[in-house]
Amino acid sequence: MIKRQTTINRIFKITGIGLHTGRDVTLEFLPRREFGIAFVHNDYIIPARYDMVADTRLSTLIAKDGVTVSTIEHLMAAFYFSGITNCLVYIDGPEVPILDGSAWEFYQGMWKAGVYEFPENSGVYLKVQRSVEVTHNDAWLRIKPLNTLDITMNIEFRQPVGKQKKRVTDVENAFSIINSRTFTLLEEIEAIKKAGLAKGGSLDNAVVIGMDDIINPQGLRYRNELVNHKILDLIGDLYTSGYRILGKVDANKTGHYLNNLLLKELFSDPANYSIY
């Protein structure tokens, strides 16, 4: 387990295209002593925190005084898996690049940059003390006390996906989650594009589910790649708590909205958690 606050050892950059904006964007990662992950866009510092989330449709978007940064969830998951607690991310566009649709390239960049540990060994973990649950229609998400992070995810889509379930009991070392890609149903693409989104989407950065099979020529990276990716999104969203959460998470058809709602409910009462 991570014992201390950390940051990256050296500055590095990543460039790619935004999934929804279709714009090229460059991220520059800088070491940071102040606790937490934050983005700098148009001279505004926007903490990557649950209470800064302003939109959860198709991605997690944070905002401050009208300045926004969207699609932060995969990058936040990469910070989690890299053990990075403190970092400043300069971004020259409104959306984090999608890269290959997973968190893998972000994770690689952090691994190459290395991790620096601060002497401080507090304020890293949030331990759930009381059960919290949120629901929306037939979707629900709950968390209860546990000394590690344990996630069970249920998803359900039309065939050929159907119902899928996966439990991860050692989340900090579940590296197959990191390079599981985002996905969409073929029939949803037209509606998304009509809404002015997915301008940068392609088979290079998303899994497309056809009526009978996966359309991507190389197929899936893992048999459970789709449910893996929903776990990846959840981990990234949970890391906007500002802490590495310890608790047993059960999720059914959850998405960015419920992920954020769970954190709001969790933080609504200090008796729900402890920080150490």
* Residues catalogued as catalytic: 256
- Give the tokens for residue 31: 């070491």
Cα–Cα dist 189/197, whole Å: 9
Cα–Cα dist 17/199, whole Å: 9
Cα–Cα dist 139/153, whole Å: 11
Q: How many residues does the chain have?
A: 276
DSSP state of 52: G
Q: How many CB atoms lie within 10 A of CB 267?
A: 16
Question: Is omega for the bond preceding 119 within 30 degrees of 0, making it cis?
Answer: no
Instruction: State how far Cα 41 lies from the chain centre.
Output: 19
Instruction: State how far Cα 73 lies from the chain centre.
Output: 3
The angle at the Cα of 229, spanning 206 to 45, to the nearest 5 degrees, equals 85
For 173, how many CA atoms within 13 A lie in the half-sphere containing its CB? 5
